[in-house]
Amino acid sequence: MGEIGIGLVGYKFMGRAHSNGYRQVSHFFDVDPKPRMVAIAGRNEAAVSHAAEQLGWEGYETDYRRLIERKDIGLIDVSTPGDSHYDVVMAAIAAGKHVLCEKPLANSLEQARVMMTAAQVAGVVNMINFNYRRVPAVVLARKLIEEGRIGEIRHFRAVYLQDWILDPSFPLVWRLKKELAGSGALGDIAAHIVDLSRYLLGDEIVSVTGSLSTFIKQRPVEVTSGGGAGLEATSGTEYGEVTVDDSAHFLAKFAGGATGTFEVTRLAPGRRNHNQFEINGSKGTIVFDLERLNELEVYFVDDPGDVQGFRKILVTDGPHPYVGAWWPGGHIIGWEHTFAHVIRDLLEGIRTGVNPAPSFADGYRCQAVLDAVERSSASGAWETPVSV
Ligand code: SOE
């Protein structure tokens, strides 16, 4: 196949992480087609032209529709705030482009359903960037579960804790506005642990009960924006309403009978990006912590009594996926490598015509759980995620 032109929409935090993935992937993996970084799009010409230069794009556009019209682009990557996902993705699908979209898929369940259906009908390869599925240690966790090494799964327990808006003077960035972000910690980081639970257990959440909380209800209106991650900015003196959740806590029941416990917050002092899960089975336990992403902790009931205890596996040696493409055992990888892994599998899906997971259907299933949590927070009752 040779090469495929990439058009990236968005040049801030996720745009930088995705750009790094496109730059790296063909230097470490044998990919066909190879990605050609044709153009990056953003509305601010000064900013996007600088980003094109700094991030390694051949050119730039100030209107995503021109990017989508280009005949030298076959894949559109959507790395913008959630309120634009629907319009950009639907335009890309209509133009017959393959699509990689950042999570959460959309700002509403209905939009997510329409996007999923459109991609399936059009037959374009579609992926959502739940990149933590491509941490080698997480892949190992799923392998152990699939092989029955920890027996019947009874409990999935996960937290995703951050502290980037702990300071009340942190301004009202786009992630704190419902009309732009759709929700707060729920859609931003609970989306990740909900997706991980589906991926690891190979099971669906059939019922949830939970609550959303907002502790800092007013914030200074943003004067200027920093790297645009929405994780740093400067603020003025005028105040505005925070219209999303700072935290979400919910219980879940899986179809197979396992229980789920989920907690996310952006107000946990000292927790920079603490995504941790623990899975208890009838024969063992698995523990993963993103801030130590090269390691997986396991406990097997059947270990001989004199060596009973948690083992810490350094998941950097050859038999594990992806790692062999980078460095020898013990030469650890980082958060940014997971984006190259996603892109490697996306390019393989384009070559084979087999849509890689997580697809928009996975994005929809995740969105349905988030929607049920929001309904439960309002009703105070257990709620069922909508099926397609
Ligand atoms: C901010 O919470 C954020 O950048 C998320 O949007 C990403 O999905 C996560 O990987 C890191 O934190």
Convert the pLDDT of each residue in 212-230 to its tens digit.
999 999 999 987 655 455 5
Average pLDDT over residues 11-38: 97
Atom of ligand 1 nearest to the CA of 231: 1
- Asked, for residue 127, whether it belongs to a domain, the answer is yes
Q: Which one of 73, 105, 131 terminates a domain?
A: 131
73 and 149, same structural domain?
no
Say which residues have a Cβ less than 8 Å from residue 332's Cβ, sequence separation at least 6. Answer: 294, 314, 316
Distance 339 CA to ligand 1 centre (A): 13
CA distance readout (Å), 30 to 26, 35, 67, 343: 6, 11, 27, 12
Q: What is residue 231's predicted lDDT score, i.e. its pLDDT?
A: 59
> What's the structural domain count of the chain?
2
Q: Which one of 106, 131, 156 terminates a domain?
A: 131
Q: Which residues line ligand 1 (CB under 6 A)?
A: 13, 162, 188-189, 273
197 and 274, same structural domain?
yes
Average pLDDT over residues 247-274: 98
Beta bridge partners of 297: 287, 312
pLDDT tens-digit series, residues 283-300: 999 999 999 999 999 999
172 and 109, same structural domain?
no
Distance CA 296, CA 75 (A): 34
Distance 189 CA to ligand 1 centre (A): 6
152 and 125, same structural domain?
no
Could you tell me the pTM of the whole model?
0.96
Judged against a pLDDT cut of 70, whether residue 236 lies above it is answered with no
Are residues 376 and 383 in contact, defined by beta-carbon separation less than 8 angstroms? yes
Judged against a pLDDT cut of 80, whether residue 233 lies above it is answered with no
What does the mean pLDDT of the chain come to?
96
CATH number of the domain bearing residue 297: 3.30.360.10
Strand boundaries in the chain, DSSP class E: 3-9, 34-41, 59-61, 75-78, 98-101, 126-128, 153-161, 205-213, 218-225, 233-241, 247-254, 259-265, 274-281, 284-289, 295-300, 311-314
Beta bridge partners of 90: none
- Asked, for residue 385, whether it belongs to a domain, the answer is no
Q: Structural domain of residue 247, as residue ranges?
A: 136-333+343-348+355-359+364-379
| Lowest model confidence (mean pLDDT) among 45-54, 70-79, 231-240 | 231-240
148 and 27, same structural domain?
no
| Token digits of residue 347 | 């390019």
Atom of ligand 1 nearest to the CA of 14: 4
Residue 387 pLDDT grade (very low, low, confident, very high; cuts 50, 70, 90) = confident
Distance 41 CA to ligand 1 centre (A): 21
C-alpha 68 chain-centroid distance: 23
Distance 49 CA to ligand 1 centre (A): 24
50 burial level (CB within 10 Å; 0-12, 13-18, 19+) = middle
- Asked, for residue 386, whether it belongs to a domain, the answer is no
Beta bridge partners of 288: 277
331 burial level (CB within 10 Å; 0-12, 13-18, 19+) = exposed
Atom of ligand 1 nearest to the CA of 102: 8
Average pLDDT over residues 330-342: 97
Q: What is residue 222's predicted lDDT score, i.e. its pLDDT?
A: 81
Nearest CA to ligand 1 atom 11: 273
- Asked, for residue 387, whether it belongs to a domain, the answer is no
Nearest CA to ligand 1 atom 1: 188
Average pLDDT over residues 247-255: 98
186 and 72, same structural domain?
no
Atom of ligand 1 nearest to the CA of 162: 2
246 and 183, same structural domain?
yes
pLDDT tens-digit series, residues 307-322: 999 999 999 997 899 9
Distance 194 CA to ligand 1 centre (A): 14
Q: What is residue 76's predicted lDDT score, i.e. its pLDDT?
A: 98
Atom of ligand 1 nearest to the CA of 188: 6
pLDDT tens-digit series, residues 346-370: 999 999 999 999 999 999 999 999 9
154 and 85, same structural domain?
no
Distance 171 CA to ligand 1 centre (A): 18
- Asked, for residue 38, whether it belongs to a domain, the answer is yes
Distance 188 CA to ligand 1 centre (A): 6
Q: Is 236 helix (H, G, I), strand (E, B) or coil?
A: strand
Distance 356 CA to ligand 1 centre (A): 22
Nearest CA to ligand 1 atom 6: 188
Residue 341 pLDDT grade (very low, low, confident, very high; cuts 50, 70, 90) = very high
pLDDT tens-digit series, residues 134-175: 999 999 999 999 999 999 999 999 999 999 999 999 999 999
The shares of helix, strand and coil residues in the chain, as percent rounded to the nearest 5, are 35, 25, 35
Judged against a pLDDT cut of 70, whether residue 234 lies above it is answered with no
pLDDT tens-digit series, residues 120-139: 999 999 999 999 999 999 99
pLDDT tens-digit series, residues 170-204: 999 999 999 999 999 999 999 999 999 999 999 99
Q: Under the phi-then-psi rule, with left for phi > 0, alpha for psi from -120 to 50, and beta for the rest, what region is 309?
A: left
Q: For a ligand 1 pocket test, name from 188, 192, 193 the mutation site with the most ligand atoms within 8 angstroms of its C-beta.
A: 188
